[in-house]
């Protein structure tokens, strides 16, 4: 019982960190291309990546070693929706991450570097899409926890 509670806690803390880092990215991008703090953005993105790994590992541990066990999750469509959304957010994050790393390299090489407006717009839109998709995952979790997707 205690181990299940600890696994749940670790999973929730990881999720909160992931959301926090992604909101930080959005907030930094809101400053505009001309005022962008590229180093802070790259650090927030690194935090997002590490939190994503923590969410994945803690979620897997919960599914395998938690009270409900793998059989609860394996055939649940809502669980597969959750995982699918998580993977989709991860795949969509590749574009902004690559841009942030490119901008950081350019800024380190040239102190007068300014992020191109078009690239900033694409990255900002990408992070916004990630945030919206991330917001759907708790809905899938609620459906799953109540067994609503199990026919």
> Whole-model pTM?
0.93
Longest C-alpha distance within the chain, in Å? 59
pLDDT computed for residue 147 by the predictor: 84
Q: Which residues of the chain have pLDDT under 50?
A: none
Contact (Cβ atoms closer than 8 angstroms) between residue 122 and residue 95 = yes
**CA–CA distance, 110 with 87 (Å, rounded to integer):** 35
């Amino acid at each position: 019982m205690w181990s299940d509670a600890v696994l749940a806690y670790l999973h929730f803390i990881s999720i909160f960190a992931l959301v926090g880092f992604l909101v930080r990215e959005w907030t930094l991008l809101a400053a505009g291309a001309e005022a962008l703090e590229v180093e802070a953005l790259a650090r927030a993105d690194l935090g997002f990546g590490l939190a994503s790994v923590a969410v994945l590992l803690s979620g897997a541990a919960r599914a395998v070693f938690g009270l409900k066990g793998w059989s609860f999750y394996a055939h649940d469509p809502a669980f597969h929706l959750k995982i699918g959304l998580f993977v989709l957010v991860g795949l969509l994050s590749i574009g902004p991450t690559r841009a942030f790393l490119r901008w950081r390299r350019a800024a380190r090489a040239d102190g007068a570097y300014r992020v191109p407006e078009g690239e900033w717009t694409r990255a900002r839109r990408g992070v916004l899409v990630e945030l919206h998709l991330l917001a759907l995952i708790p809905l899938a979790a609620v459906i799953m926890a109540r067994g609503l997707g199990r026919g």
